Structure 1
């Protein structure tokens, strides 16, 4: 026995049987009562058997026949499986919506300037970007993938290292003069130092004092300090000539390449104990859009190196 070409008649029959009314089924299916009735009649004609006993008690009340009542559980189970199959196809397609989370500063300084290249290779994927510094529940907020900065240990998430980074002083080229050529690290103590507070002290992110100690300067930082809780704003303040920033290399890369910032004292290397990680739930590991975005991120990092 062949199934009808269209499943609309079966859907109309199932809804009518559940509501015992063409009008209520029509409201659920967003069509007219006449359309539902016609679909059910076409199914009855195709099967050559009635599916309902129509009882007129003011309004027509539908009572499924014995054969219809017996078939309904299988029809409903079939629709449920069909829905699951469609959802599976949608989830394993590169097309659709990719929900991504990252910090505001990483998004502004690293991700957004490159994101158009992902959209060029995956034009059918719409990126929904949520920027926040607060912890995100990937399951509750239906997040597909994220980029996080830390030690790589987030409960319930797979974390794959994307890239490491250094911390080093940067300033605007306008600050480099004969008077302030910064040949000696101790000269930094005379300047306004810009501190990044976006990562609290418990994460292990290096401070200005730790960098100075690594460079051989034991004195405490001077009295002129600016403290900012956003890494992008830290760099912008330095670009504007507001002082010397202790920069994160991933964030500062494009500004240095463009000449907006200058790295100072490159002979002092201080690797951050923290790194950038691609994170996602284990159940999302095989999603095509997650795989595609992860591969693109790694390619972007490789192209930069």
Structure 2
């Protein structure tokens, strides 16, 4: 049976309102922005009034009209109910499949070294990891659980703090053996700085410039260095002696424990405003596979903090 056109139009409207953008809504729905705009206009024809305040500037966030604002909570609740209904329908066929979304770096540096323990504890659960830097849509991608890094604010998802962290410089044991002076602020500028660009667009992501600003040395961060858009690769480069990396304590915990990397300037602590969170759709926490994974990963994380 073909989905009624007004349901498609409502979905396009809800996604556009949530993202404040036809383009972002189109990415979520896997259609073109023009198609989203056309669906929204068709809904406006049905209800007989504009849903968004029109602007010629496409970079301006979409603003709901007053009638659309009043209707939005009911539309969102309706789609949440539909999503939960689909989840319940699927429970009978995929009880043993757990779909987890997380970043490639977190998977490589933290989860994969520990996941065997979960699998041995719950051998009937088939864990499927979907590594991506993009925020996947839990409904569209059939995601059960996510591990996200940020400030803890994601619409439509239940959010629990998993691990907080701090930021500090690290290097290989061989580098500090050859240059003992690097274990103080005066020695760091003499070495190549390795920069993590994986979240450079996030204003709360701490950088070398933020760390060095505490010593009024932030201009050093602008010198030529090694810049990598992968947190895991940043730590790998540091472990190979290619310079000093600014590490995130969660990502580097195993490397410090096994001696691959050494923390520098241990007397300096810089807490990060960003943290790791476990997220899932409201109402899914009682699904056995989600409940088991949630309890397990919270227990694992308690050994870090």
Asked if the contact 2:169/2:246 (under 8 Å) is kept, the reply is: yes
Q: CA deviation at 1:187?
A: 1.9
By percentage of residues, which structure has more strand?
Answer: 1
Q: How does 1:116-265 map to 2 (within 5 A)?
A: 116-177=116-177, 179-215=179-215, 217=217, 219-221=219-221, 223-265=223-265
Distance in 2 (alpha carbons) for counterparts of 1:227 and 1:86? 47
Q: CA deviation at 1:202?
A: 2.7
Q: CA RMSD in A?
A: 2.0
Deviations 1:154-196 (A, max 9, x none): 1111111101001100000001136442243032111100000
- Give the TM-score normalised by structure 2: 0.68
Distance in 2 (alpha carbons) for counterparts of 1:216 and 1:183? 18
Q: How does 1:44-63 map to 2 (within 5 A)?
A: none
Asked if the contact 1:150/1:203 (under 8 Å) is kept, the reply is: no
Distance in 1 (alpha carbons) for counterparts of 2:211 and 2:89? 54
Going from structure 1 to structure 2, the CA distance change for 1:156 and 1:177 (only over 3 Å counts) comes to same
Question: Which residue pairs with 1:278 in the alignment?
Answer: 278
Deviations 1:20-77 (A, max 9, x none): xxxxxxxxxxxxxxxxxxxxxxxxxxxxxxxxxxxxxxxxxxxxxxxxxxxxxxxxxx
Structure number with larger C-alpha Rg: 1
User: Which consecutive unaligned segments of at least 5 residues does structure 2 have?
Assistant: 1-86
**How many aligned residue pairs are there?**
219
- Give the TM-score normalised by structure 1: 0.68
Pairing 1:291–2:291 present:
yes
Question: Which residue pairs with 1:64 in the alignment?
Answer: none
Distance in 1 (alpha carbons) for counterparts of 2:181 and 2:278? 39
Asked if the contact 2:250/2:304 (under 8 Å) is kept, the reply is: no
Distance in 2 (alpha carbons) for counterparts of 1:277 and 1:257? 23
The more displaced of 186-195 and 263-272 is: 186-195
User: Which consecutive unaligned segments of at least 5 residues does structure 1 have?
Assistant: 1-83
